[in-house]
Chain A
Amino acid sequence: MKSKLFLVIMIAVSLGAFSGFSNAQVKLTGAGSTFDYPIFSKWFDAYNKMTGVQINYASIGSGGGIRQITEATVDFGASDAPLTPDQRSAFKKARGTDVLHIPIIIGGEAITYNLPNVGSGLILDGPTLADIYLGKITKWNDPRLVKLNPGRNLPNKSILVCHRSDGSGTSFIFTNFLSKVSPEWANKVGYSTAVNWPVGLGGKGNEGVSGLVKHTEGSIGYVELAYAITNNLPYAKMKNKDGNVVSVNFNTVTAAAAGASKHMPADLCPIITNSPGKDSFPICGFSWVVVPRHIKDKTKADALIKFLKWAVTKGQSDAEKLYYSPLPKSVQKLDLAQIDKINK
């Protein structure tokens, strides 16, 4: 009896080992953005079933992804902010080749708040939002907020500003938007993945900020759209560059990207906050896959090229289910041309 059981186990183990071998033709590894992780894991699973190519991804944060691809410990990195000029030259020095940015997905940010009896869809504009985050507007019934929201009964409550305490691409996009709409913000604070916040509480991660907002009356915060939706938090409509009031959703975010793609820089690294267009939502941004232009391992390079081409075209249909916004067709075309530059 026992020996039979042993035999069965042995067979099972050896079968497992064999199937492991047959799948292990090509293995790719990546690291970086936590923002990309949900759609990446969906893609990698689907792509593995389709082609047998196995892709492992460590969601350690954009900065970590940039560091690892620079040190060549992974095959690709993923980042919510493009590499800075310093990082690009460090990359070139370390890898002996240029870095390619490939826009892979778009994310919108929700300005979320906790005001019982006010409901969703509070209207804000850029300068007002900047002054809230500068600590100049401190009450919810400030005349400027009342003027933007006629007919709404705003309470005489202090505003509690919430922001990210960890470095993040979400903060990069948000502060970049504030810098574009408020000269005072640009001078005093500036934009980056982590800034010296004038006021407010810090929460770790999107879940930290949405937690702060959810549990504190009178609070305001910025989170990735998915977190606002899954946590049932109300979020504000924003007045965009053209003066239209738009809500954040897949259409308005993709519209912002389409608006920006008309003047796409050669490195495909546009910052699309506050972009023109009547439907454009102003606080959103691309996320990029970062690869070296020349990859020595030919089989890996081919596998990576095939996967990326699939992800920026067919893969985009998975975006909306996971609360991302798909790349507009115009950007997909530019992406394919960019991917073709690998090893050429």
Chain B
Amino acid sequence: MAMFKRSDTDVNGAETLVNVQDFLRKKKEGKKNSFLKKLLKNKNLGDVFFERLTLLFAVLVFLLVILMVWEMYSNSLISIKKIGWHFLIGQTWDPVLRQIFGALPAIYGTLLSSFLALLIAVPLGISVAVFLSELSPGWLEKPLSFLTELLAGIPSVIYGLWGIFVLVPWLQQTVEPFLQNEFPNSPFFQGAPYGYGMLAAALILSIMVLPIIASISRDVLRSVPSTQREAAYALGATRWEVTKIVLGNAKTGLLGAVMLGLGRAIGETMAVTMVIGNRPDISASLFSPAYTMASVLANEFTEATSNLYLGALIELGLVLFIITIIINIMARLLVWGVERRWK
């Protein structure tokens, strides 16, 4: 009706406008009423409530992250102000007497040990996944999958104990002397073979992230539609060629699996602390003891007596958090890049 009025008389523009507004308001109210009516009639109040509730929880998770960052930032303000950039580039860690806090060795140790662990675990983990989802006979697949998942559930302190009692003596007496004999001039195998050190940490981390990478990769490979495989076989593709096609389809998911593994490696504390030797040094040699950020926190938090010391440790936690975020963002970008190329 309002539309009619407007097209009818252009002279009474103001009146028309009022009428239009009135019309819209009424229409809105009508909608609201009908919405409420609908609500009561269909009894989907529960649906609405549930939707709001889940939304609340989703927002809470986000708020929690913000709160964590804010707490870490405000508690480490004292050390951020006093130490500044030296915290990230300094190499001396003398927390009580001279109060020098250089976290570079710990940052370096965290990144290097995680990188080495992935270097070992990614090819192994994806191979396990390929075998389980593509090649394994049915009777073998179930128990193998179960064992892989079991490996993921073992507490890290057990890995640490295994590291001390089995891995370290083996490295010390067999592996490290062998490597030193074979590659006497390599910078990676210098120093006395203690067993404890970067190599032990990287190996134990690789064993810990292997089941995560393997079991998620297996799920990802399984979710590739079987029509893809059937089509490839129909065209006369060999098993290896089909596997390649499946892997190509699953690229994004596999990258996600690797990232989850990396997340565990970066944050792993107990097992690493037990075998890495806990020494804040930067050395190219894999035999020399090193330190990671998580280990520093585990070792020193209880006895951090001065405020600056406590602040520095919390700042270390903040740095760890930021590094994790940066790696996640990089992974996301990588995934996008891969997807675009795929299209």
The residues of A with any CB-CB pair to B shorter than 8 Å are: 60-64, 66-67, 84, 86-87, 158, 160, 165-168, 189-197, 200-204, 208, 211-212, 215-216
Contacts and interface: CB of A to CB of B under 8 A. Distances in A.
Interface stretch (B94-102, B230-238, B334-342): B94-102
10 contacts: A60-B302, A61-B302, A189-B97, A190-B97, A191-B97, A196-B93, A196-B97, A202-B277, A203-B278, A215-B165
B299 A215 contact: no
Contacts of B84: none
A194 B300 contact: yes
Given A196-B98, A202-B299, A212 B196 contact: yes
A192 B97 CA distance: 7
Nearest to B173: A217
Given A87-B305, A193-B305, A215-B165, A202 B279 contact: yes
B272 to A, nearest CB: 11
B284 to A, nearest CB: 18
Contact of A167 (B96, B100, B277, B289): B96
B303 interface: yes
A196 B273 CA distance: 17
Interface residues on B, range: 20 to 34
Contact of A211 (B164, B194, B302, B306): B164
Given A165-B299, A201-B277, A215 B306 contact: no
Given A201-B196, A215-B169, A165 B96 contact: no
Interface of B: 92-98, 100, 164-165, 168-169, 172, 192, 194-196, 273-274, 277-279, 289, 295, 298-300, 302-306
A341 to B, nearest CB: 25
Given A215-B169, A216-B172, 8 more contacts: A63-B303, A64-B302, A192-B96, A192-B97, A193-B96, A194-B96, A215-B164, A216-B194
The 8 tightest CB contacts between A and B, nearest first, are: A167-B303, A202-B278, A165-B278, A61-B302, A196-B94, A63-B303, A192-B96, A166-B299
B244 to A, nearest CB: 45
Chain B CB count within 10 A is highest, among A165, A167, A212, for A165
A203 B194 CA distance: 13
Contacts of A63: 302-305
A66 B194 contact: no
B164 to A, nearest CB: 6
Chain A CB count within 10 A is highest, among B96, B172, B300, for B96
Contacts of B196: 201, 212, 216
